[in-house]
Amino acid sequence: MKMARRLLFCLSLTLTLLAPAGLRAADLTRQSNSVVKIYITSQYWNLTQPWTKLATKSSTCSGFFIREGILTNGHCVANSTYLEVEIPGKPDKVEAEVLAVNHQVDLALIRLKDPSAAKGAKQIAFGDLPEHRQKVVTVGYPAGGRQISYTEGVVSRIDILPYAHSRLPNLLVQTDAALNPGNSGGPVFSDSTGECLGVATQGNRSGEGLGYFVPTIVVQQFLKDAAGGKIEGITNLGFTFQTLENDAQRASLKMQSGQSGIRVREIAMGSSADGVLQVDDVILSVDGKTVFNDSRINFRKDSTIGFSYVLSSKAVGDTLKAEILRAGEKRILDIKLKPYVTTLIPDMPRYDLPPRYVVAGGLVFLAVEPVYLWTFGGGEDDERTPVSLRNYANRLVGDEGLQELVVISQVLNAPVNRGYERQVKNLRVMEVNGQKITNLEDVSRYLNPPDDRTYVEILLENNTTVILDHKQMDEQEPGIRERYNIR
Active-site residues, by number, are: 75, 106, 184
Of the candidates 266, 262, 264, the residue with the CA atom closest to the CA atom of residue 244:
262
Beta strands 282-286; 289-290: pairing state: antiparallel
CA distance 215 to 201: 10
Strand partners, 43: none
CA distances for 347 relative to 243, 304, 308, 344, 395, angstroms: 22, 26, 17, 9, 11
Which DSSP string corresponds to 65-104? Answer: EETTEEEE-HHHHTTEEEEEEEPTT-SS-EEEEEEEEEGG
CA distance 151 to 136: 8
DSSP state of 117: G
- At residue 254, what is the residue type? K
Beta strands 35-42; 239-243: pairing state: unpaired
CA distances for 367 relative to 40, 47, 355, 373, 439, angstroms: 28, 11, 8, 11, 8
